[in-house]
Chain A
Amino acid sequence: MRKLFTPLAIVTALVFVTTPFLIANAPYESTMLLIQKIFYYHVPSWVAMYCGLAVCAVGSIVYLFKGSRVADRYAVSAAELVLLFGANGLISGPLWARKAWGVWWQWDPRLTISLLLWLIFGGYLMVRKYGGPGSEKLAAAVGIFGAAVSPFLYVSVNIWRTIHPKTSVVPDIVANPQGMAAPLLISMLAFVLLFLLLLNLRVRLAERQDALDELYLAHED
């Protein structure tokens, strides 16, 4: 793990340095102009959040059924990153909405789903913190159910919204790329790399904490 950190950090830094130039050179979207460019920051946050969700779910399953401490370390680290990148998206989203359409929150499906997932994984961390001894397993169950429910969240919230359409609609950028695809993909790459970097750091922190516990135990002998 430690060996991966430096090359990963370098690559991440490089991508982050070059991405703003790509974003600046990307064409303006017709109605929102400069404001739309928050999109290159907002959407990749979701991508990183869902990466965290996947890692947490898999780590939770492996921990619950195999008792692997390594898996548990990945699960808790990923859950924290879900909250981090989710918060990123939940702040940039309303900022964008306010500037673009004058309203902070309009129950946009993606924002709503992310808010719920944020709550679920916030619950994951609450259980670990306040659940008492043995709460890592309980949290693992929350992680698994959180991941299992996300497709249903996606379907039900989307249908829930589109059956009652609001007047302002999120522009469908995928339909007209116009040179926005490349900066978007690079931005996504940047955020995924950042996710992996932070995951690496956080897992190592958890490793150190577990090693410290082992030392305490050994000291008693």
Chain B
Amino acid sequence: MNGSPTEVALDERHAAAPRRGTPMFVRTALLVLRKDFAIEIKTLEIVMTTLFFAVACVLVFSFAFVREGQAPPDAAPAILWIAVAFSGTLALGRTFERERHAETLRALLLAPSPRPALYVGKLLGMIVLLALDEVILVPLIAFLFASPMFDRPLFLAAFLATGTIGFAAVGTLFAAMLMRSRTRDVLLPILLYPVTVPVIICGVRGTAALLESPADLPTATMWLSILFAMDVVFLTLALWTFEPLMNE
């Protein structure tokens, strides 16, 4: 070949820059989480807007359901889970819009890290965000509806944790895969809501069972175990399908 230097053997200078060990699955996921945290901490844009939206949601539903100062029974858990689902969907869209803006997700996919680790990093960020929402929503709803949400705090936390993980697991996968779609904004809720209906059912009915007086613990436990099984299935499927879905 004319004009090119003689083929260079595996050149020491190019073989590797100074390295500190290979990024593993956990390291990558945590790096992504830390990066999202660093972005969010500067403006708190997604946190604040999601929170305000969730509160607005609660109020809209309250005005729809409350009559003569009384909400129908089981309105409190229903409104809680709907607000989480709706604000979660918005947050998912916003989070992945950040990765789409300068196509940074492409750069991440190009990195030598295992692709599912990117998914896990995004998922963790989503869970933290929704948890922050719930920290505000639960007292608000308890206040507005005189609902004994804090009688069994650990149980309630377990419901919120498993339900949020289930919803976020599917949502993160769908939001990531729809990133290159022109119609991603409307397709995400269309796909996400029907698939996460069991999460909503279990969350609402389980929370409602907890709020009864006396609390119906066996029923609540049953709903919780279904939620847990769903989390396992959804997470496994998402980790399994993430990589093939991300190939262009």
The answer on A and B forming one complex is yes
Q: A126–B197 contact, CB under 8 A?
A: no
Interface residue ranges of A115-150 to B (CB < 8 Å): 116, 119-120, 123, 126-127, 130-132, 134-135, 137-138, 141-142, 144-146, 148-149
Chain B residue with the shortest CB-CB distance to A137: B245
Q: A159–B245 contact, CB under 8 A?
A: no
Which residues of chain B are within 8 angstroms of A116 by Cβ–Cβ distance? Answer: 194, 197
Chain B CB within 10 Å — which of A65, A145, A146, A148 has the most?
Answer: A145
Q: B194–A144 contact, CB under 8 A?
A: no
Complex Cα spacing A13 to B182, Å: 44
Which of B9-17, B106-114, B173-181 touches A?
A: B173-181
Chain B residue with the shortest CB-CB distance to A129: B183
Residues 160-188 of chain A, each 1 if its beta carbon lies under 8 Å from chain B, else 0: 10010000000000000000000000000
Which residues of chain B are within 8 angstroms of A146 by Cβ–Cβ distance? Answer: 195
Chain B residue with the shortest CB-CB distance to A130: B183
Residues 184-215 of chain B, each 1 if its beta carbon lies under 8 Å from chain A, else 0: 00010011001101100110010000000000
Q: A65–B244 contact, CB under 8 A?
A: yes
Complex Cα spacing A144 to B229, Å: 17
Which residues of chain B are within 8 angstroms of A196 by Cβ–Cβ distance? Answer: none
Interface residue ranges of A51-76 to B (CB < 8 Å): 64-65
Q: B187–A130 contact, CB under 8 A?
A: yes
CB distance from B220 to the nearest CB of A (A): 12
Which residues of chain A are within 8 angstroms of B190 by Cβ–Cβ distance? Answer: 123, 126
Which residues of chain A are within 8 angstroms of B248 by Cβ–Cβ distance? Answer: 134
- Say yes or no for B233: interface residue by CB 8 A criterion: yes
Partner of B180, one of A120, A132, A144, A163: A132
Chain B CB within 10 Å — which of A130, A152, A159 has the most?
Answer: A152
**Assuming A135-B181, A137-B245, A141-B177, is B198 touching A149 (CB within 8 A)?**
yes
- Say yes or no for A157: interface residue by CB 8 A criterion: yes
- Say yes or no for B230: interface residue by CB 8 A criterion: yes
Q: A153–B198 contact, CB under 8 A?
A: yes
Complex Cα spacing A126 to B194, Å: 13
Chain A residue with the shortest CB-CB distance to B183: A130
Which residues of chain B are within 8 angstroms of A135 by Cβ–Cβ distance? Answer: 181
Complex Cα spacing A163 to B208, Å: 12
Q: Other CB < 8 Å A-B pairs besides A64-B244, A127-B187, A146-B195, 15 of them?
A: A120-B191, A120-B194, A120-B195, A123-B194, A137-B177, A137-B247, A141-B245, A144-B241, A148-B233, A149-B195, A149-B198, A156-B202, A156-B226, A157-B201, A163-B219
* A-B pairs with beta carbons under 8 Å apart, 14 shown: A120-B195, A123-B187, A123-B194, A127-B181, A127-B187, A127-B191, A130-B187, A132-B181, A145-B234, A152-B198, A152-B230, A156-B201, A156-B226, A163-B205
- Please give me the 3 A-B residue pairs with the lowest Cβ-Cβ distance, nearest first: A152-B198, A119-B194, A156-B198
